[in-house]
Amino acid sequence: QSVLTQPPSVSGAPGQRVTISCTGGSSNIGANSDVHWYQQLPGTAPKVLIYGNNNRPSGVPDRFSGSKSGTSGSLAITGLQAEDEADYYCQSYDSSLSQWVFGGGTKLTVL
Amino acid sequence: EVRLLESGGDLVQPGGSLRLSCAASGFTFNYFAMSWVRQAPGKGLEWVSRVAGSSGNTDYADTVKGRFTVSRDNSKNTLYLEMNSLRTEDTAVYYCAKMRGATREVWYMDVWGKGTTVTVSS
């Protein structure tokens, strides 16, 4: 069981908006640790999509946005495109474990 | 261009040992902490270990503590992961990743290598 909880799968039609949640606890997201998001396209290494809760690295489209509230983080994707079909992971730091932790991952299917 | 290139993955028997390497280029290596992250077949990402940029301070996941040792040679711009007492559950693609941020609570992995495959099987 992952310290951070994500839905196993989400889906949406092209052009739609989807959100992926990442629920933690008082020793990680709720303890003021940042939430980061990674995209892993099939057969490739992960790449950072959102860092520091809501910041996009250069080159990441503004269709992707992140937010954080309380013990949870959220990734929103608007204007869904076929190329967005991938696995998405959240990541934070857990002060009780003294370890960096990932969510279990969410598979996004574009219908 | 910032690049990370892992090597050393192999098929090894349970109880065996293996050393992974990660060659870095395109950035000032000793300025940044580095991590190893693994992904078992069909599973999610699991952080494995971290080493600081110049102090040598290390952290490990509970699943590998006491069996794996992370180190770096800043003169060679290379990160290492020494893996001992390997178990079948250590089978995974191992990625090295450059870490970025000011404190532990904000650190994230901003650059990843392509990974190297470790298979533990008899």
- Decide if B45 and A52 are in contact by the 8 Å CB cutoff: no
SS3 A41: coil
Mean pLDDT, chain B cut into blocks of 10 residues (122 residues total): 97 98 97 97 97 92 97 97 98 98 93 98 96
What is d(CA A14, CA A84) in angstroms, rounded to the nearest whole number?
A: 10
Task: Give the pLDDT confidence score for residue A39 in this predicted structure.
Answer: 98
Residue A74 amino acid letter: S
- Decide if B105 and A93 are in contact by the 8 Å CB cutoff: yes
A 26-65: CB under 8 A from B: 31-34, 36, 38, 40, 44-48, 51-52, 57
Taking the CB of residue A6, how many other CB atoms lie within 10 A of it? 24
Taking only the tens place, the pLDDT of each residue in A37-73 is: 999 999 999 999 999 999 999 999 999 999 999 999 9
Taking only the tens place, the pLDDT of each residue in A79-95 is: 999 999 999 999 999 99
Task: Give the pLDDT confidence score for residue A1 in this predicted structure.
Answer: 81
Residue with tokens 């999610």: B44
Task: Give the pLDDT confidence score for residue B49 in this predicted structure.
Answer: 98
SS3 A57: coil
Among positive and negative, which fits the CA dihedral A51, B102, B112, A87? Answer: negative
Q: Is B52 on the interface with A (CB under 8 A)?
A: no
The tokens of A45 are what? 């290494």
Task: Give the pLDDT confidence score for residue B91 in this predicted structure.
Answer: 98
Task: Give the pLDDT confidence score for residue B56 in this predicted structure.
Answer: 84
SS3 A90: strand
Task: Give the pLDDT confidence score for residue A2 in this predicted structure.
Answer: 87
Q: What is the 3-state secondary structure (H, E, C) of chain B?
A: CCEEEEECCCEECCCCCEEEEEEEECCCHHHCCEEEEEECCCCCEEEEEEECCCCCCEEECCCCCCCEEEEEECCCCEEEEEECCCCHHHCEEEEEEEEECCCHHHCEEEEECCCEEEEECC
Nearest neighbour of B59 by CB, restricted to A38, A99, A103: A99
* Percent of chain A with pLDDT strictly greater than 70: 100
What is d(CA B76, CA A86) in angstroms, rounded to the nearest whole number?
A: 35
Nearest neighbour of B44 by CB, restricted to A95, A97, A104: A104
